Structures are given as structure tokens and as C-alpha cells.
Chain A
Amino acid sequence: MTTTALPSAARTRRRFSGPRTRRRLAPYLFVMPFVVIFLAFSVYPLIFTARLSFTNWHGTGAAEWVGWGNYAYLLSSPAFWSSLGNSAVLWLLIVPVQIALAVIVAVLLDSAKLRLRGMYRVAFIVPFVTPLVAVAQIWVVLFDQDHGAVNALLGAVGLPDIGWLTTSAWSKPTLALLFLWKTTGFIVIILLSGLQSIDRSMYEAADLDGASPARQLWSITVPLLRRTIMFAVVLQTLAVFQMFAEPFVVTQGGPYNSTTTAGYYLYNHITRADLGTGAANSFLLVILVMILSLAFVRLLRAKD
């Protein structure tokens, strides 16, 4: 880097002494607007959260230093663990189904010979570009127990009504359906890009050996796509554990806190002005999310 930069810098100095100074100063000017915004709205709040998490501040008056008190309180609080539990159940309902479905769809769409593949691809992405709040509201109406279209459909085929949003047994699957519907097309797009890097000749060889399409999917595509799949898993794990807007709009965390996700529980501290606990909660969530991501990355490395 430096050896190649030196001659041109020397040449520049000889020929234009003004521009050389400008060249030295330019990068500072270029990054300045970003750095100001970054310091003000990312770095400073982050440091502030760290400090806040050790106090019992409620937004007014003096903050009292409570040491690890907020962390100890949360770690021994059943509500905190139940919010993590709710997120874990949602993860189980969402991620395995989504990855399996997305792999199959991506493989089908990857075939250049498939007719209408452009149409399918566009249709599957539509949910991802629609505003979450609008869609979440449509969910509320669609899954209404007494007047919703979903129960009307079930009734038409002779099945009983389900309390999608009103029973704690069904509230999580209903949210999971929303999440699956909204983001599966996104995962399909990611997997499609991964598929593009697979050498076609492997399939030709497998065809020669008489391997069935299912066998090829399992023995060639999935192993070669492992990196992309793991990436999608990490991405969706982060998204599921931070899930906030879905329960906020659809269920307000209910019924009986069954959809109080980790992200929604954090928000509860804010509405109660319990800012110290909220800050500690957000750090615990960050740590958890990082541990989960690292675990998945390890899993990926272990097999390489």
C-alpha cells in the first residue's frame, strides 16, 4: 500500500503542491458529517446506556448508582426469562420451517428452464417490501376469531373456529405465520444468490450417476449452500429475538403475556419509565444475541 502510494505522492508534490495538502485534508472533511452523526446518535447513546444500566433512574430526579442491581433483578425475574422463552418458542416455530421452505423454493426458482420464474420471484418478495404495520393490521382483521376471513375459511370446510389472537396457545403460531409470510421471500432471495455460486457441473455429474432430484438437493445443494443457510439462520435469529413491532401492533404482548417477546419486554420498561432496568435489559439482549450468533458461526466453522 505505502510503497505504491509513495511515487505518486512524490510526483504530485513536485507538480501540484496545493492539491497535495488538499488531498491530505480531504478525507477528514469527507468523513466529518458521518462522524458527527455517528458520535451523536450511536456512540454517545451507547455509552449512556452502559452507564444507565447501573442506575435506578426513572427519567427524572437524581440517578442512584445501583451497581449490578438491575442485572441481578432481571436475571432473577420470571418475567424476563418468560420473555426470552416466548422468543425461543417463536424461533422454533419460525426458523426451521422458514429455512426448509426457502431452500426448496430457491432451488425450484433457480432452474433457468422454469417458466414464470420472474413472476414467482416478484410475488414472493411482495410481502417483504410491504410496510410491516399495514400488514400486521391486516393480520389482526384476518385472524379475528368472530369476523375474520381465516376462521370463515375454516368454517367453510367444516373446521371449528380458532382463537388465533385471543388464546395463549394460538397467539404465538399466529405471530409466527405473520413473520414467515413477511420474510420468507427475503430468505429465498438470499439463498438464490448463494445458489448462483454452485458449479452446475456437479448436477450434471449427479444426473449421470442417476441421483434423484431430492437426493441432489440433500447431497449437493444443501452442503454447498451451508454457509448461506447459516448466514440466513443468524440473520433471522437476530430478527426473532428483537421482534417488537409485530407483537406491538397485533397482540400488545398478550394474551397473558404469551407474545411478550424479548424485544417487547424491553419496550415495557420504557413505558414504565424504568430506564435503568430497560438499559440493563437491552445489554443482556445484546449479549444473548451475540452468544447465539457466535454459536451459529462456530457450528458453521466446525464443519468446514
Chain B
Amino acid sequence: MTTPTVLDSAAGPEQAPSLSRPSTPRRPRRSRPRIGTHAFLLVLLVAFLAPVAWAIVSAFKPANDIIRDPLGFDPSAFTLDNFAAMFHDVPIGQGFLNTAIVLVAKGAITLFFAPLAAYAFAKYDFAGKNLIFGAVLVTLMLPTIVLIIPLLLEMKTFGWVNTYQALILPGSVDAFAIFWMRQVIAAVPDELLDAARVDGCGEFGIFWRVVVPVIRPGLAGLAVLTIMNIYNDFVWPVIVASSDRMATLQVVLSTLAQNITGNRIGADYATVTGELLAASSIALIPLLVLFIVLQRHFINGILAGSVKG
């Protein structure tokens, strides 16, 4: 940017057309496909939102109407019966409570210890650093299912099956969080840390008062991604904590689906369907609200979660 040659090559092609032919080159790309573009995107938009919208609307229909006339909606028949039946039949309140407990504990552990360890990896030299970080990279590439059998056995050995510890500790401070936060913290200038050190700041103080405020956007992305992953997590909870008392929201939900596919003998199909849609709608809402409020952080988190992982 500082040398004129770089500036020339960057600005050159952009300037040339605007000097010679000001408006003609852009027009074909801009105006012609506009209607087609919107038609196409709107069809997709409907397809992407319809299942969720249909589920939420149907949850307020009488159970028999959902299966008799899945496409219709009669506002005069609006009912909360499905929700009442669902709260009565499945421990969804307990599911919400369990998810909330796991979310707070696991989220806090991850969001505190992952940046802390990442700070050490990014800004210090210590024995075993490369070995440990190499192991982190290997785990990043491993499918999580590889660990499930031995983890389950480990939980049995500890007597942790159907406990909060089992839901909270495995998978917290995950390799990805370390990897991502290390990238983020590596970009913090060393001068900033040295200046704090000269001012007499302790090592943890540097992390807490200098690094954390600087990396706040990255932390927000990690927070949102972590919340989303914990809230939606299903495979590990269903394997390690499927008792009624410990089931997380997602596990409670999955039992309803199994009722539908015939595991619950004698269950009335319409009733179960109504309950299932009511439960699914309730489960969707917290994340949807969070997403709408924190869109930008969500997109940053999702993006970093993919590109760096």
C-alpha cells in the first residue's frame, strides 16, 4: 500500500472502466436478473422457513386436525391442549432445567479455560508446548464418535452415568476452542503485553485486563458457538444421561419421536404428534430468539467454527 506501484496495480483496473465507459459495463449484471433473483431467493426462503413455521402454527391446532388436515389452519380452533398434554406426559421442564445447568457450567468452563490455555499457547514458551498443541490438532481431525465408547466406560468407572458431571466435563474446553482462541490471541501485539508487564501487571492480570478486553469480539463468537453446540448437543447426552431425571431438552425431545415411530404401545398417533410439535416449537424458540438478537456474533462464530476447524 505504501509504494505507488502497489497502489497502481490495485486501483488500476477499477479506474480504467469508470474513466472510459462510466455506466454501461455494470448495467447487464445489475438490473436484468433482479426479478429472477428475488423469485429464486424467495422460493428458497419459503422452503427454509416453512418447516419451522408449519410446526409452530400446527402446535396450536387441535391434535386431530394436525393429522386430518395438515395444511389448513382454523384460527377459531386455536388451542393450547398440545402444550398441556406435552407438559403432562414428558419431563420437558426438567429437560429445560438440565440443559440450562449444563449450558451455564459447561459454557463458563469453556469460555474461561479455553482462552486462558490458548493465551499460554500463543504467547509463552514452555516445555511440552508443541507436543500438546500437536495433540490438539490431531483431536481436531478425529470424529467425536471414536471417543464415545471409552468415554462411556470411563463414566461408568467413575460412577458418573446420569450425572451432571458427565454432561458437563467431557467436551468442555474442546480442542477447537483452544485452536481458534490461539489464533485470535496470537494477533494481539506483544508490545501491549510487555507494556502491561513493565507497568507491574501480573501474568494473570495481563490475560484478564489486557488480552480478554482486546479479544472480546472473538470471545463473543466463541460464546455463541459454544451455546449453540451445547444447547443442540444430542449424541453424548442420549448415551450418557438418558434417565428422566437427567435427560436434557434434546433427549426429552427424542423420546417423543420414538413414541411416534411406534415404541409406545397404544399411544394415539394424533396426540403424540400434537405433543411432539408443541415440544419442538418450544425447543426452537430460545435459540431462534438468541439468534435474532445476536445475528452478527452467530455468523462470526459459525464462520470461525468452520473455517478454522
- Chain A residues proximal to chain B, CB less than 8 Å: 1, 5, 8, 12, 16, 19, 22-24, 26-28, 30-31, 33-35, 37-38, 40-46, 48-49, 52, 59, 104-105, 108-109, 111, 113-116, 119-142, 144, 146-149, 152-153, 156, 181, 184-186, 189-190, 193, 200-205, 207-208, 212-213, 216, 231, 235, 238, 241-242, 244-245, 248-250, 252, 263, 266-267, 270, 275, 278-279, 282-283, 285-286, 289-290, 293
Contact = CB atoms under 8 A, between A and B. Distances in A.
B120 interface: yes
B52 A244 contact: no
Given A135-B51, A142-B51, A244-B235, A126 B303 contact: no
Q: Is the interface of A mostly helix, strand, loop or mixed?
A: helix
B288 A130 contact: yes
A26 B120 contact: yes
Contacts of B32: 213
Interface string B47-82: 111011011001000000011111100000000000
Contacts of B268: none
A123 B45 contact: yes
11 contacts: A33-B113, A34-B117, A46-B142, A114-B37, A120-B41, A126-B288, A132-B234, A134-B283, A231-B307, A249-B257, A283-B146
Contact of A266 (B145, B258, B283): B145
Contact of B283 (A131, A184, A205, A216): A131
Contact of A208 (B17, B54, B253, B298): B17
Nearest to B33: A213
A46 B154 CA distance: 12
Given A30-B116, A38-B173, A129-B298, A44 B154 contact: yes
Interface string B130-158: 00100110010111111111111110000
Contacts of B149: 49, 52, 270, 275, 278-279, 282
B197 A41 contact: no
A244 to B, nearest CB: 6
Nearest to B172: A37
B93 interface: no
B184 interface: no
Given A140-B257, A286-B143, A108 B40 contact: yes
A34 to B, nearest CB: 4
B302 interface: yes
Contacts of B267: none
Given A49-B147, A149-B71, A27 B197 contact: no
A249 B254 contact: yes
Contacts of B68: 147
Contact of B71 (A104, A138, A156, A285): A156
Contacts of B175: 38, 42
Given A22-B202, A108-B40, A126-B288, A30 B152 contact: no
Given A49-B147, A207-B28, A31 B117 contact: yes
B178 A108 contact: no
A33 B150 contact: no
Contacts of B226: none
A270 B116 contact: no
